[in-house]
Structure 1
């Protein structure tokens, strides 16, 4: 397979995917989103390129050794981006609204050109938007925390008061616990919400869910889903503050999923249209399990350390088998592929 990974060439997860792909003989190139572009002409199909700035940053590997990638140079040997078999979206960098929309446009166009995008543009559009994720999961019958999303500071403050002056404020886009604030008094809430409103942010507040004390004072679950099926889970505990994210300071331990937790994770991934995802769950003091988020570009460093599952290798193995299934069903004249395999 020829695999394109969209993300930082120096990033741990991109390099892990490249290593796993190279170990079984696949070509794997890493390209930053910021270097992608598209050309349109009156008579030719759309073409995609990585700009010339890429040559010093991106890497290509067909073995365990790494060599500099030259896909951005203007030579006849370059591989047009639409000729990759698979595109793995490893990150969606911050940017202006125009840049984010353009990146999503490129993913849709790559998919239309026959490149299999993981996760699909439709799935990524949902998973990077916390509010859309919750609405899709709620429509699928899953339990979600009480949430308000609006542009009015006054409306947000009224809801904050109704929740007993305690809530979580999150950015609509973002991950790894960045930008999340735990509000516990009205004046602080007023200042934070007003500041967010002044910079044009949507106000996204959730009622604070006090986790089940039997599981730890502040803990949640990260379930890793691959091919639409949970492959394992860790329980994350907050250490320095309320956030459990292991990318900050959270502590992780192995968790054996219940059938209910498996089903929630499976249904959440399906509701968002993602095949490879991190699904975050939390149980309250009454034992009710809530869907918190679905991450379409999941990290797995802590997950791998705790579970012993080699995630990048598992991902490449799944891509191989699902590609064969896609090819076989196509040759048999079957247009649809099962959600998981």
Structure 2
């Protein structure tokens, strides 16, 4: 009997790239004779009671054999798992990936190579008149200038700032009061270039190099170009290890070029969009994801 699936994406975001990702997955499932339904996360209601746990849908669909969860609605992902449905990726992997501080803590605990990072102490109440500063002199002495200030929550290269001096650093800390963020060593050898390596299961299935000449970030969304890339064995190994560390079934892992081009892990994206990889390499990662899921739930 053919397996059925739900593909869930964020229904509140204006960009079509989120729906595009879901449709790529649905087309791949269809090629594998698996019937799927695409849902916006806000079309599904989680019901909790003393004698019931359920998902409410407007069309009263039967529960699926699996869910591909491309959103960050953790409560919904957890609810689906409570109902015994295999969810790819699981809520814990999405939660860790979405929180860059939590990601770096996991990577550091497993002794994987990352830029040197200092977490900003948590400020619960933002006060512009009397901002609270950590010891900026110690941070500068440890990380040097320029440095990166990175918010813990952000996507597409946004919420990442290149800081040139102490005055800029103080201004940025004031601006980010009340948010979770970190101070990070600036990897000058990776200025305007990085790698995106797509992992599915225990293998690397596609990779590309991203390059820009006018920004320290290499993301395509900030004007970067891309080219197909054949990663080294070390780069593949690091990408696979990073994916496992956060408990993800598949992920897009971003690597920086450290000294002598030694790779450093920059980010792990549990819901990495795959359209650019297809355009760049001709490899449709959706096929690998669906193959992996159907094999996992046999």
TM-score by length of 2: 0.87
Per the alignment, residue 145 of structure 1 pairs with 115
Cα separation, 2, equivalents of 1:116 and 1:156: 46
1:218 and 2:192 correspond: yes
Per the alignment, residue 226 of structure 2 pairs with 252
Cα separation, 1, equivalents of 2:192 and 2:137: 25
Residue 46 of structure 1 aligns to a residue whose secondary structure is: strand
Cα separation, 1, equivalents of 2:248 and 2:111: 17
Residue 148 of structure 1 aligns to a residue whose secondary structure is: strand
**Contact 2:88 2:293 survives alignment (8 Å):** no
Number of aligned residue pairs? 280
Q: Which runs of 5+ in 1 are unaligned?
A: 51-71, 93-102, 325-341
The structure, 1 or 2, with the larger RCO (C-alpha pairs under 8 Å, 6+ apart) is: 2
Cα separation, 2, equivalents of 1:281 and 1:301: 19
Per the alignment, residue 63 of structure 1 pairs with none
CA deviation after TM superposition for structure 1 residue 112, in Å? 2.4
CA deviation after TM superposition for structure 1 residue 16, in Å? 1.2
1:108 and 2:78 correspond: yes
Residue 224 of structure 1 aligns to a residue whose secondary structure is: strand
Which residue, out of 161, 169, 179, partners 1:201? 179
Residue 91 of structure 1 aligns to a residue whose secondary structure is: coil
**Contact 1:148 1:156 survives alignment (8 Å):** no
CA deviation after TM superposition for structure 1 residue 292, in Å? 0.9
CA deviation after TM superposition for structure 1 residue 246, in Å? 1.6
Per the alignment, residue 36 of structure 1 pairs with 44
CA deviation after TM superposition for structure 1 residue 220, in Å? 1.0
Q: Which runs of 5+ in 2 are unaligned?
A: 122-131
CA deviation after TM superposition for structure 1 residue 237, in Å? 0.8
Q: Which has the higher strand share?
A: 2
CA deviation after TM superposition for structure 1 residue 228, in Å? 3.1
Q: Deviations over 1:275-332 (max 9, x none)?
A: 11011111223333211111110112221122211112222222222222xxxxxxxx
Per the alignment, residue 237 of structure 2 pairs with 263
**Contact 1:211 1:220 survives alignment (8 Å):** no
Q: How does 1:18-29 map to 2 (within 5 A)?
A: 18-29=26-37
Cα separation, 2, equivalents of 1:33 and 1:160: 42
CA deviation after TM superposition for structure 1 residue 240, in Å? 3.3
**Contact 2:145 2:163 survives alignment (8 Å):** yes
TM-score by length of 1: 0.76
